[in-house]
Chain A
Amino acid sequence: MGIEGGMGRALLMHTAERLVAGGVAAPSLDFTSQIALSQRKTAVTGTAGAVDYDTAELFPNTTEGVGRGAEATSRTEYAGAQSGHQAEQFQKSLMDSASGDYAGMRADLGLKDEALYFAPQQIRGTWSYLVRSENPLTGQKVAEQKQMPMEVANLILERTQALSALKGTHTTGGLGEAGTRGGGVEGTKGTVREQYLEGKEPPPNATHPGLKPIDEAKKRDAASPYAQMPAGQAATASVLADLEHYLDGWFANAHGVVPRVSGVLAIANREYNVSDLVAHELTGAKLAIAVAKALALAAAIRVASMFGPIGRAIGEAVGKAMHYLGAPDAAIVLTIAGWIHAAGEVESLSSARAQAYMVQHVATDMVTLFENAVSNTAVAGMNVGWTALTGGKKPNTVGDLLDELGPVLDKPEAKKEFLDTIEAEISTREEAQKQSGDYDPELVPLRAVRDALLGKSEAESVPLESPAAKPGSAPGAGPTPQGVGAPPPAGGTAPQASRPTIEQVVADAHASRSGRDALIDRYGSWEETIGRLKAGTDELASIPEPARKQLIDGLVKQRSDLISELRGMYESQEMEGASAEPGSDVDLNMTGPDAGRHAAEAMTYLDATHPGWRARYRMGVLVDATRAETLSEALGKLPEAERVDLTRRQAMAAEAFLVAREARNAETGDAREALLAGIKDPDLQKRARWLASLDESAANAERSKLLVHSDAALKAVDPKASAADRRAQIGEALDTQALANALDPEAYVTSGGIRSVVLGKKVDVTGRYEAVIDQIDMLHHQAHSTPGGMRGALRRYETFKYVMRICDQLTAAGVKDRRIAFLRNQGELVYKLDRNAVASEESRIVSGGGAPGKASVAYEGTGEAPGVSDAFLAETHEMLQGLLDDHLKTLRSQALGPHAAAGDAPPVKLPELEPEPPQPAPTPQGGGPGPGPGPGAGPVPGAPVVNPNEVGLTDPHAVVRVADALVRQRPPAPGTTLKAHAATVLAPISRELVALGTKEPGIDTTDMGDPTRWGFFSPVDNMIYINEKAELPDKRLAFDIADPVARQRLAGLILHEARHAEQYFQAVRYMAAFNPLRAQSLGIHPDIVSRAMASKPIIGTPEEAIGRAAYEEFFGSDTARTVYGQDAQRTTDLRNRIDTAKSIRDIAQQDLQNVRWWELGKTERLQAKILKVQQELYRLKAELDHRMEVYYGLFHEQDAYAAWRALDKEFPQARLRQAERQMHEAWDMVDSVRNILPEAETQALNNSAAAMRAYWEALEEVARLTRPGPGAPAPAPTSGGTKTP
């Protein structure tokens, strides 16, 4: 049978269902007779305090007694008595059937339709009976054996007894009043009290009030459709109706194809006893995959028809390819597909039973299909070709088509079939053309396909769409049929398939799943589609908002239905914490011991039934993350040295796998090679190279294998095995899972990433490093999957999720860096509070307040929030890059220990920002709600793009811009003057000030006469003055620009003084709001005053706080501090101490690096202790570094009071005390090991500990100097006590 025959059968399935549904044996009351003969016995035994009830359902035999034993005996006896008789009857029925018109599994016995037949082996589990009906397709009469589960039988029995009790009367054996004695309980008319004690005579129609419930039950029974039936029939009928109603509902509400098909097959197996093999395939992955394959092929063939004769040829080729690949004949698959399709849509029991009836005819083929679908990987490989036809991009040219069909046409037999069909089609058409003289446009692509298959590459560019026949071409005079490569007919170009209108697409999306898929495909991805539907701009502007919302709801439901379908198939759960935001992603987490296999099967199913499901539905299928915890626990039971080494080795491997994943996405071979070359370990590089070389199909197949193997590897971890064996087993399990994850672009690869980020577990420094690189890799995935690469990804909130997580992991690893605070806050804002925060440069309206329980950031009020510029995002990227540049290498070194050479660069790198796209025309920069550059001024040339929410020079963005510019500056050439260099340093800072709206200060150097005075800002001159004779305590010049450290010192001073320039500007702005005349009489340079007065009011802007604080320092409560703060000697001492502490910090850093921890740890009995020492010292170092960073920020504060105030805020006393304890613990720890280590290794450890103590003491000294002395004013809140001047 050809494919078309298969298609015909498939298409007939729905029609057949309607035919069959009316003919399949309908539910009947056949069981009634058996009910009528059965007995229920109940015995009450025991004592008043412990009553025992025993019941038994008994067949009509002689069995006495009650209870479970009596019931079993009754059944056995009944079966024995009946079987001989029924065997005889069965033989008779066979003879009868030969001469009569009955056929079937059990012939009617000719006695009664309700005659029962019990097979001894079945009677214990079910109650069986025969029914007779007609074959709906042939009209032949059949008798069928039915089996009823005992649960249903018992239900019928109970209802029968209840109805029987209701219909009869209950006598009292001559007791009671006259009515009772004559009419039983139902005839009772009154109570004893009424009649005998109160002398009342009840009216003739009176009944006992206690009979009211019985009367009501009788009334209900009389109104039921079964009122006229005997009790047994009524009970049977009502139970059947209830069951039917339930099953109707089940089929109507079942999610997806697979549950419905399973239901139909269950009925088929129950009613027709179809193959046990089928029964075993009823649920789970095999059925799902088979369904998927069959439907995919059916869809492929349907789509193929779009291509006319080429499509038919493709269909035949696919069938041929399937044959040679070991799959069942395509026609069979199509037939099954048709049945599956129809069975998957049943919405009632009668439809399901009709489909169940038909399954008998495809059962055997189906089993074959299942086996092939599951076991034949070659069939899975054909997915690529099918995807091209069913859900992938539509091929436009012959070359496109042949590329997509590569997996099919690689088989010589299939290729030959394809060629033969094409040739036959060409011949037929040429003959027809010759006969009619009409030009046949189909011949062009047909010939091109043939020629391309024969190796003529020029044919590949021919469009698949046939050029239209030229109208009016005369028979015989039309253009000569075009050969391959010939230009299209003059004056005509190939008609382009017209893009459907948005109205049509929307209508389709409302109507069907395929319509919704088409809508998503129109916009390329799930999130893009949801975003556009929400925005309602561009072509969707014509669609009303309610309709768009309805579409979003429809899309979300479609996705959740798919998730429900998968959840019905596998032990799984939706990832907790999944966002309710429609545009966000959703992950299904496979759980249980077979989670790996289930994940593989589910993905295979989705690949086949929903090609492109990842992007289209933004879904992921993952293996339960708690596996990582299981493995971690097993890891924790290894000896310490084994555990540490395996953990580090695994981190190295995971790192290499991540690089491989990046390499798979590399744009060029060179880029790929460069990434892989970053893996230093030759074995790991080899594995990574293999991983990176897999194409999509091979990667999918490999991932499936690995996932399945991961189940076995996990189970193989034997807690009773030797340490060496366990190490190997755990390593194998970890390795397998990491490799499988590496082939899934959405999955975390590292154990640390999974445990810390997904499970929220505390992990060691190795885990933190792993988590960071996993997040970086996720950023690669974002960049790779977003149009516009990393630049585009920076507009997506998910990107900031990963940025936030990088910050969290770095912080948890002990990294202290001010950039973390900014980046984390930014990440939290975008990820948790406002997912559109970076989506556009356009402003938008935001609501005040935060997201309770979700984010620690919030908008202060409701109103218009400015958009975010590309430049701002680029700076954010630069900041992140800088953060990683500064810390990732050290973190990696700590994480991997001796496995990483100290000089190795981390191979997992942040995705680079693509070059800025060319701008069509220059656009004004700057602006925002902050002050403008001056009255009537246009864009500020050279001014940075300042986000309107920035708060000036102290804003992290500005700090980064300035710091970045300074880092990029070249060292001054020999002979450069201090003034020239200072001007160079000031330039990027001035740009920030100009962007704020003020006039940049000048800078000059001079001899201030006092070497302890380093410089200051003069508001009178709007100048920053640098003391060219400033000295360090050792009398060296403070600003010797040949010295890099001195240049850093100078830059810090200039930035500090420039902040004062900003403060004066903002103070005048602030004062101008309520006392403009006073603002002009402060002696401040007119350039500053005029710019401040011309700017927008400061009240309500982000800079208001700066202006107010400065103003309060002018006239407010802080004036009194001046005396204390200007204690020149104290500030000089402070500055010098900070400088000293910094030098000691550098020494401590060096000493700590000199400790060869891995050598120390070689002594097994000391390993745990050494590790602890290492952790303690690094922890202490991190704490001290943080303090140092804060102190260094105060380096140029000339006001000791301000320094103390800042320090007190940053380091409350409790934290200092804790740090002190930490220092002593670390010191004690070193003491406890130093005497038992080899001498060669002890020295470095001693040095490090000593340096750390010196570091601590230096910082303590700095802290001491900042504390107010006796008589100094206590700090007070700066916001209080404003005086109006």
Chain B
Amino acid sequence: MTAPRLDWVAEARVLVTEPDASLDRIAAWLGDGVERDEEGLRAGAGAVPGAGTVRVRGRDDGTVDFLAAWYPDATGPTLGEAEAALGPAEELPRLVATPPQVAFPAYRGAAASCFIAATTSDPATEGPSRRLFQLTLRRDAL
């Protein structure tokens, strides 16, 4: 099952986790209109298919910390769509006053250093129709 709003995740995962991952390469991948600041990169709508803002944060050593994409105005993929593309989701333990987050551990793949998680809308609408409004690809040290 393909999900256009998530198609980019596979490419992004490689860029984030490859050994020589760099902000420059990700910037090039994001295309025109990407902005650089002290913290990393910022791109507006359109840089990633289906997503609004994209944020890439670098670490002090110049490597990548994470890439986060935001889906505005309730346009994000549903949890069901995300599970279809990224594998089963797991609820992450959280404090009651923070929004729900899920992880997709199966999608770490061989690299195993990319942790993919999403922030979802309120669980009052729990179930597959629950919608993601942010997706994070985090590069964890091996």
Contact = CB atoms under 8 A, between A and B. Distances in A.
B129 interface: no
Contact of A1007 (B53, B95, B123): B53
Contacts of A1016: 98-99, 119
B70 interface: yes
Interface string A890-930: 00000000000000000000000000000000000000000
Contacts of B97: 1060, 1125, 1197-1199, 1202
Contact of A1002 (B57, B96, B136, B138): B57
A1002 B39 contact: yes
Contacts of A1113: 94-96
Interface string A1010-1054: 100100111111010100000000000000000000000000000
A1009 B74 contact: yes
Interface in A1085-1116: 1085-1086, 1110, 1113-1115
A1123 B124 contact: yes
Given A1009-B73, A1018-B101, A1020-B136, A1202 B96 contact: yes
Contacts of A1199: 96-97
A1029 to B, nearest CB: 9
B75 A1123 contact: no
B92 A1083 contact: yes
B117 A1020 contact: yes
Contacts of B66: 1020-1021
Interface in A57-88: none
Contacts of A640: none
Contacts of A697: none
A1082 B115 CA distance: 11
Contact of A1019 (B76, B98, B121): B98
Contacts of A1018: 98, 101, 119, 134, 136
Contacts of B52: 1006-1007, 1009
Interface in B67-109: 68, 70-76, 92-101, 103
B141 interface: yes
A1110 B99 contact: no
Interface string B35-71: 0000100000000000011010100000000101011
A1010 B68 CA distance: 17
Chief secondary structure at chain A's binding surface: mixed
Contacts of A1115: 93
Residues of A in contact with B, size category: 35 or more
B140 interface: yes
A1008 interface: yes
Contact of A1086 (B72, B92, B140): B140
Residues of B in contact with A, size category: 35 or more
Contact of A1128 (B70, B71, B122): B122
Contacts of A1082: 92-93
A990 to B, nearest CB: 14
A1127 B97 CA distance: 11
Contact of B92 (A1020, A1063, A1121): A1020
A686 B32 CA distance: 76
A1122 B123 contact: yes
Contacts of B75: 1009
Given A1002-B39, A1126-B124, A1019 B74 contact: no
A881 B75 CA distance: 51
Interface centre among A1016, A1017, A1018, A1025 (most CB of B within 10 A): A1018
B53 A1006 contact: yes
A1021 B136 contact: yes
A1064 interface: yes
Given A1018-B101, A1123-B124, A1007 B115 contact: no
A1110 to B, nearest CB: 6
Contacts of B39: 1002, 1004
Interface string A651-669: 0000000000000000000
Given A1002-B57, A1113-B96, A1202-B97, A1021 B124 contact: no
A978 to B, nearest CB: 13
A251 interface: no
B98 A1008 contact: no
A1118 interface: yes
A1007 B72 contact: yes
Contacts of A1006: 52-53, 55, 70
A1126 B123 contact: yes
A370 interface: no
A1201 interface: yes
Contact of B72 (A1009, A1127, A1128, A1201): A1009
Nearest to B140: A1086
Nearest to A1056: B97
Nearest to A1071: B93
A1198 B97 CA distance: 6
A606 to B, nearest CB: 64
Contacts of B99: 1013, 1016
Given A1002-B39, A1020-B115, A1086-B140, A1009 B133 contact: yes
Interface centre among A1006, A1019, A1020, A1198 (most CB of B within 10 A): A1020
Nearest to A1090: B141
B65 to A, nearest CB: 8
Nearest to B103: A1083
A1125 B12 CA distance: 35
Contacts of B70: 1006-1009
Contact of B96 (A1007, A1017, A1021, A1126): A1126
B104 to A, nearest CB: 10
A1021 B95 contact: no
Contact of B138 (A1020, A1063, A1121, A1202): A1020
A1038 B13 CA distance: 35
Interface string A1046-1089: 00000000000000100110000000000000000011011000
Given A1009-B133, A1060-B95, A1082-B92, A1020 B55 contact: no
Nearest to B133: A1009
B22 to A, nearest CB: 19
B58 to A, nearest CB: 11
Contacts of B136: 1018, 1020-1021
A994 to B, nearest CB: 14
Contacts of B92: 1019-1020, 1082-1083
A818 B95 CA distance: 26
Given A1009-B52, A1126-B123, A1021 B68 contact: yes
Contact of B74 (A1010, A1086, A1121, A1201): A1010
Nearest to B74: A1009
A1115 B96 CA distance: 11
Interface in A1114-1162: 1114-1115, 1118, 1121-1123, 1125-1128
B120 to A, nearest CB: 11
Nearest to B45: A1007
Nearest to B73: A1009
28 contacts: A1002-B39, A1007-B53, A1008-B133, A1009-B74, A1009-B133, A1010-B133, A1017-B98, A1018-B98, A1018-B119, A1018-B134, A1020-B66, A1020-B115, A1021-B66, A1021-B136, A1023-B57, A1025-B134, A1060-B95, A1064-B95, A1082-B93, A1083-B101, A1113-B94, A1118-B96, A1122-B123, A1127-B122, A1128-B124, A1201-B96, A1202-B96, A1202-B97
Given A1020-B136, A1126-B100, 4 more contacts: A1008-B134, A1019-B94, A1114-B93, A1126-B122
Interface of A: 1002, 1004, 1006-1010, 1013, 1016-1021, 1023, 1025, 1060, 1063-1064, 1082-1083, 1085-1086, 1110, 1113-1115, 1118, 1121-1123, 1125-1128, 1197-1199, 1201-1202
Q: Please provide the 5 A-B residue pairs with the shortest distance between their CB atoms, ordered closest to farther.
A: A1114-B93, A1009-B72, A1199-B97, A1083-B92, A1009-B73
Interface of B: 39, 52-53, 55, 57, 66, 68, 70-76, 92-101, 103, 115, 117, 119, 121-124, 133-134, 136, 138, 140-141
